[in-house]
Structure 1
């Protein structure tokens, strides 16, 4: 087990949703729904933009229009699978190679990441992360199988997206850190970003 991982670090995250969902969550009548789609690249869990209210807000507007809203949270990362860390990337390589062997034996082909189906944004972006999701899901299954006491509470990863911030830049307009909270007990405090001064 790699000793250099997030443990009990608290970060702020922002979740885009509708006003109705926000009100139900903040009033305690509802919990966050765990993402379960095929392109939710970090696997099942509740997704947040780390420390980026504006990105969460723009996503919510794109999805919900005038009824867009954002819920904020203080998130204890707990045992975090941080993909900006070299150790996590080594696990992903192992997972990918193991999947390739399994698929080869079954005569199946690997999934691929794909661009936005409506050609929105930068055509080079692969925002539908089918490949990454299956590799991460397999990595989590391998960890659970080989180290049953080592379960990850959160997954944290950089995401490059959008057009260059300025000509020649390697920074893109929608680059962000994505958080997938697998253990909802680590959502320490929920907050309404509209009420924070």
Structure 2
């Protein structure tokens, strides 16, 4: 740590801004990245941040505070735009020219989570004990904490259950209206090792 602190301000700016850009661009979908890939991405965002500081210097903004703030903002903006728009555009171009059909996500669950243009309506989760947990987002009250559903890169899920089926053929599920009699919703956590299938009903926003 001391060796990092003793680096020049320019190098520290590149490393800090680069890491923040890398974090924004990859959080939740960085599974499987090799150390060399992580290092190169940090360097790329750091160098883009450095370009921003050079641009600020051209306008006479040479003070360290301007350099640091400008570098961090530039890195975060570039990373956010890349994640939200440019990465999908680039992947589409790569597919259209026939180079490969990969969507640049490390896993299928990451691809699902990365589909930010979809509006989720209903989720059914089948577990290894035969039960089916259903969450109908339209039956949930507004303003719930932690979103209506949360998934991570390895398949763990938390959701507000609105119906519980004893098995896949159950026609009379135990129905919850998303809350108990005291109007307090119950968040259910389902670890990946008990989940065998997940059905997602969604459509474009």
TM-score (norm 1): 0.24
Over alpha carbons, which structure has the higher Rg?
A: 2
- Larger helix share, 1 or 2: 2
TM-score (norm 2): 0.23
